[in-house]
Amino acid sequence: MRFSNSLAGLALASTLLAASAEAREMNLAFTPPLNSHYGDAGKAFAARMEELSGGDITINLKPAGALGGERDVLEGLQIGSIELTITSTGPVGNFVPSVYALDFPFLFEDYEHARSVLDGEIGQELLAQFESHDMVGLAWAENGFRHITNSVHPIETPEDLSGLKLRTMENQVHIAAFQAAGASPTPMSWTEVLTSLQQGTIDGQENPIPVLTANNIWEIQKYLTLSGHVYSPAVVVMSKIHWDGLSEEEQGWMREAAKAAAEAARATVSANEEAGVELLRENGMEVVTDVDKAAFAAAVQPAYEQFAEQYGAELIERIRDAK
Ligand code: EAX
């Protein structure tokens, strides 16, 4: 009797050991709240991974900057302290320089143009470049076209930007663009923006509609200008250290789950863009809709002169031609 018990015990122990060796947890970090386009993307990633791995890999979502700003999180991926993120390309150019080509103002015509470029040759070429920077670019998700908010006065012309303390992402092209337009750009991580706006150390910021609504921006900003001055891609990225620890099959699961995340982000952005402007208006924001985009494009043009050569003039031309 004793012998068979110990054999059963041994079998159970080895099964549990095998199971625990299999069962893994990974963090997926992002800066918007859970109730946002990135949150929908994260949930889609986690659900798909649950399905594909049969529960062996659990994705823990870390929303609202829980693991730091986008730049911090990318550094975390490089050293392996964080496994996954969904991030805007804002700070990515500081790690993967060629990605800066995506961040130029008034480069993308509309969502269709942006999505087809990112899902096509150009987008795939750029994803492949993450690997030489200790990261793996899994898929292009979406942040959306960026618009300007501020608490001083309605911005109707580029001249209205003059002297405004405008937060930008930690992105050289965006800083140069708003400098050229006469604003005084202040780069900072999203995790500091709401407090800085509340304290008045900055007058405004710029972000896509889903980021504005997810953060109830109407509570601290009065004016919204639908400038659409930059298309802001988001990207699903994995730490290369953790990627290299996966089997080929598991790596395929990561790509599948990232695709599901990308689709979910785009679906939420498409659904919320218009409704989001209404929500901002209903909550008291004054919305400038009739924006002279040509005038804004001319005002930020010096950013091209300053950076296009360095960050891929040829790539920028290819993107323009892909309209
Ligand atoms: O990625 O930092 C920003 O303004 C980003 O748009 C935001 O964190 C979502």
Between the two ends of the chain, the Cα-to-Cα distance in Å is: 76
> Domains in the chain, please, with CATH?
23-321 (3.40.190.170)
Q: Whose CA is nearest to atom 3 of ligand 1?
A: 190
Does 99 sit in the ligand 1 pocket, CB within 6 Å? no
Burial of 219 (0-12, 13-18, 19+ CB in 10 A): exposed
Amino acid code (one letter) for 134 = D
**Mutate-to-test residue for ligand 1 from 87, 89, 190, highest number of ligand atoms within 8 A of CB:** 190
Residue that is written with structure tokens 């730091």 in the block: 68
Sign of CA dihedral 66, 70, 72, 76: positive
Predicted model pTM: 0.93
Task: Please write the tens of the pLDDT for every residue from 158-208.
Answer: 999 999 999 999 999 999 999 999 999 999 999 999 999 999 999 999 999
Q: Whose CA is nearest to atom 9 of ligand 1?
A: 88
Integer CA distances (angstroms), 149 to 51, 89, 106, 242, in order: 40, 20, 18, 38
Name beta bridge partners: 176.
none
Q: Whose CA is nearest to atom 2 of ligand 1?
A: 190
- CA 8 to ligand 1 centroid distance, Å: 54
Phi, psi of 216 (to 5 degrees): 45, 50
Ligand 1: which atom is nearest the Cα of residue 208?
6
Bridge pairing between strands 204-208 and 135-150: antiparallel
DSSP 12-71: HHHHHHHHHHH-EEEEEE-SS-SSSHHHHHHHHHHHHHHHHHTTSEEEEEE-TTTT--HH
Does 207 sit in the ligand 1 pocket, CB within 6 Å? yes
Per-residue pLDDT of the chain (323 residues; tens, 9 = 90+): 455 566 766 666 666 555 555 789 999 999 999 999 999 999 999 999 999 999 999 999 999 999 999 999 999 999 999 999 999 999 999 999 999 999 999 999 999 999 999 999 999 999 999 999 999 999 999 999 999 999 999 999 999 999 999 999 999 999 999 999 999 999 999 999 999 999 999 999 999 999 999 999 999 999 999 999 999 999 999 999 999 999 999 999 999 999 999 999 999 999 999 999 999 999 999 999 999 999 999 999 999 999 999 998 999 999 999 98
- CA 92 to ligand 1 centroid distance, Å: 11
Mean pLDDT across the chain: 95
- CA 20 to ligand 1 centroid distance, Å: 36
Does 169 sit in the ligand 1 pocket, CB within 6 Å? yes
Nearest to 210 by CA among 263, 144, 257: 144
Ligand 1: which atom is nearest the Cα of residue 206?
4
Task: Please write the tens of the pLDDT for every residue from 115-137.
Answer: 999 999 999 999 999 999 999 99
Does 211 sit in the ligand 1 pocket, CB within 6 Å? yes
